Amino acid sequence: MKFEYHIYQAPASRSYCFMDFKFAMNHGWTKTDYIHVYKGFIESETINAALEKIFVLLNINRPDDYYARSLSMSDLVMINKKFYYCDSVGWSECPKEE
């Protein structure tokens, strides 16, 4: 399958930036703090596999048109209108905000 993905990053000044999901949820995390920094497409069998491929792509094999910081803990990836938080190990699905 081919997935369209979007990358969002919070400003480094946020208390939860570069912190794990549990810390972020307890320290004022909100999707509204994030800035859209990139959009791309990736081939993968599952969303979880796509997330891992995106992590490698944006840390090791960066596309020429990617100018944001490397994909790091606290960054968000949106696939199929769901947001995934780059956690200390793996990914956590973000809660829907009212």
46-63 tens-digit pLDDT = 999 999 999 999 999 899
* pLDDT tens, N- to C-terminus, the chain (98 residues): 999 999 999 999 999 999 999 999 999 999 999 999 999 999 999 999 999 999 999 999 899 999 999 999 999 999 999 999 999 999 999 988 64
Give the pLDDT of residue 97: 67
Give the Cβ contact number of residue 45 at 10 Å: 8
Global pTM value: 0.94
Q: By three-state DSSP, how is residue 66 classified?
A: coil
